[in-house]
Amino acid sequence: MNYSMKLRSAVCVSALVAGGAAHADVTAQEVWDSWKEQMGMFAETDIIIESEEMSGDTLVVSGLSVTAQSPEISTNYSIDEIRFTEDGGSVVVTMSESYPITMTPEGGVVITLEAINAGLELVVSGDADAMTYEMSADSISIGLKDIVDGGMTFTGDAVITLNDLAGNYTTTKTDLLTVGYDMSIASMDLLVDIQIPGGEGEYVTGGGKITGMNMLATVAMPLDADFEDPEMLFANGFAIDGGYTVEGADYIFDVNADGDQIAGSITMGTTQFAIAANSAAVAYDVSAKDVAVAATGSEVPFPIELSFAEYGIGIEMPLGKSDKPENFRASISLVDMAINEMIWSMIDAGGVLPHDPATLQIALSGTAQPMINMMNPAEQATLSPGNLPFELNTLSLDTLNVSVAGAAVTGAGDFTFDPTDTQTFAPLPRPEGEVAIKVNGLNQLIDNLIAMGLVPEEQVMGPRMMIGMFAQTTGEDQLETALEVNGEGHVLVNGQRVK
């Protein structure tokens, strides 16, 4: 038997090594039917199967080939054999230990990869509409086999290997396909060693190791998902909530191309990533600790070293129209950023400035009422120029902490906004509240910049006078200012009205 079928669904190689809550018997045919449905969920996909035969308690699928076409790239993978064996209400899945993956981008270049699994074990339980996969493997890797560009073929080592995998993967089918997974990976190894053909010794080499990776997520997808139309995708129920954590990572690289060479290393400690997105809101957070970057190169006269004790970025904002205020936030954090003395010697050859690590931390939060569905292009078009798609309700400066070259700025504050008055501070509603700012070491920093010749002394007289007008001296080279907007719309600085 040899047949093909067209599916309006998506090519997902991961569906071949995973696939759904256990409460009833599941058959081999039901598991295979679920795979066929998922293998092409987001594009026009051609699936060719040489044969599928039931032999006793085992369904044997032979000669599977899956091809997905898009304007940008064609992708194919082929697996010689997959076996689905029924075992007391569950199904044990085994497959060929290796299979090729071929990608053909625009232009005709053919990239061939090879996927290899060792000790892969899949046990499926549940029923046709809700399946749970218990998964483990000694390793799963994807590596470069070759790249063919016209008459030129080149090979090299480029491999990603996941070691000691364990976890579960669930699929539940209602009016949406909901996929959940909880996986742990002991380590991930990366290796790149490619000599560029005809490049006169040019090369790309590198390696890395990520340890202690844990991944947890739930994804809901419309059965007819179209990822080329993200607005309608979210409107039809697409949602994701998940992320990962990593205990640590180390990378090295060495690249020689176009006559330039650069080599270096990157290390980092605990890393976290989280994302949640649906038609109502989106949130994104990433952070890492103990980050260090080092590099040398033919175009750089000295080593570059950069480190952070911690960095992080976070954002949350409402997307869907609401009849009440919704939460939003934004933050950035760069803690104890340090550079090596060779870089400082270019900036401050005389050692005038303190070379202490710098910090930048800013965090804002508040509430706002979305007036339209911001993922709907038709509603976006109804906005007139100058109008905002939301009504601001509250705003807080939760964190302001900036320190560099001996100077430091800190602050915090809270404001509420009156939506009935959009004239006093047009187009924003009228704020009411206060923010307090403290500055230490500013005058010394200015004196140091003058001593270094970076700032002419006559150009700082005006700014210093302005600072004196709007800030109070609270100690030696310590300033403080409070900005207040009262209920009448008056702006006061340290109690003095300026508006």
The predicted-structure confidence for 120-153, as pLDDT tens digits, reads as follows: 999 999 988 899 999 999 999 999 999 888 878 8
Instruction: Number of helices (H) and strands (E) in the chain: give both, helices first.
Output: 6, 28
Give the confidence band of 386 by pLDDT, cuts at 50, 70, 90. low
Residues in the chain: 499
Residue 384 tokens read as 């007139």
Measured distance CA(318)–CA(327) in Å, rounded: 7
Per residue in 263-307, pLDDT (tens digit) is 999 999 999 999 999 989 999 999 999 999 999 998 887 899 999
Measured distance CA(28)–CA(85) in Å, rounded: 6
Structure confidence at residue 145 (pLDDT): 92
Structure confidence at residue 108 (pLDDT): 82
Give the confidence band of 1 by pLDDT, cuts at 50, 70, 90. very low
Structure confidence at residue 41 (pLDDT): 66
Structure confidence at residue 322 (pLDDT): 92
The residue among 244, 73, 69, 96 whose CA lies nearest residue 167 is 244
Which residue has better confidence, 4 or 331?
Answer: 331
- Three-state SS at 174: coil
Structure confidence at residue 38 (pLDDT): 81
DSSP element (H, E) containing 346: helix 341-347
Give the confidence band of 201 by pLDDT, cuts at 50, 70, 90. confident
Structure confidence at residue 232 (pLDDT): 77
Give the confidence band of 8 by pLDDT, cuts at 50, 70, 90. very low
| Range among 66-75, 207-216, 381-390 with highest mean pLDDT value | 207-216
Structure confidence at residue 9 (pLDDT): 35
Structure confidence at residue 42 (pLDDT): 56
Which residue has better confidence, 81 or 227?
Answer: 81
Structure confidence at residue 199 (pLDDT): 66
Residue 199 tokens read as 């490049």
Angle at CA of residue 345, ends 445 and 454, nearest 5°:
40
Give the confidence band of 40 by pLDDT, cuts at 50, 70, 90. low
Question: For residue 124, how many other CB atoms are within 10 A of its CB?
Answer: 28
Residue 134 burial (CB < 10 Å; 0-12/13-18/19+)? middle
Structure confidence at residue 173 (pLDDT): 86
Does residue 158 contact residue 142 with C-beta atoms inside 8 Å? no
Does residue 10 contact residue 47 with C-beta atoms inside 8 Å? no
Q: Which residues contact 465 (CB under 8 A, 6 or more apart)?
A: none
Per residue in 310-336, pLDDT (tens digit) is 999 999 999 999 999 999 999 999 999
Does residue 272 contact residue 289 with C-beta atoms inside 8 Å? no
Give the confidence band of 395 by pLDDT, cuts at 50, 70, 90. very high
- For residue 96, is pLDDT > 50? yes
The residue among 209, 324, 339 whose CA lies nearest residue 268 is 209
Q: What percent of the chain has pLDDT over 70?
A: 94
Domain boundaries, the chain: 25-155
On average, the pLDDT of the chain sits at 89
- For residue 22, is pLDDT > 70? no
The residue among 466, 461, 460 whose CA lies nearest residue 493 is 466
Structure confidence at residue 367 (pLDDT): 97
Structure confidence at residue 262 (pLDDT): 93
Measured distance CA(156)–CA(154) in Å, rounded: 7
Per residue in 342-369, pLDDT (tens digit) is 999 888 888 999 999 999 999 999 999 9
Per residue in 426-481, pLDDT (tens digit) is 878 899 999 999 999 999 999 999 998 888 888 888 888 888 788 889 999 999 99
Segment among 126-130, 256-260, 410-414 with least mean pLDDT: 256-260
- For residue 252, is pLDDT > 90? yes
- For residue 14, is pLDDT > 50? no
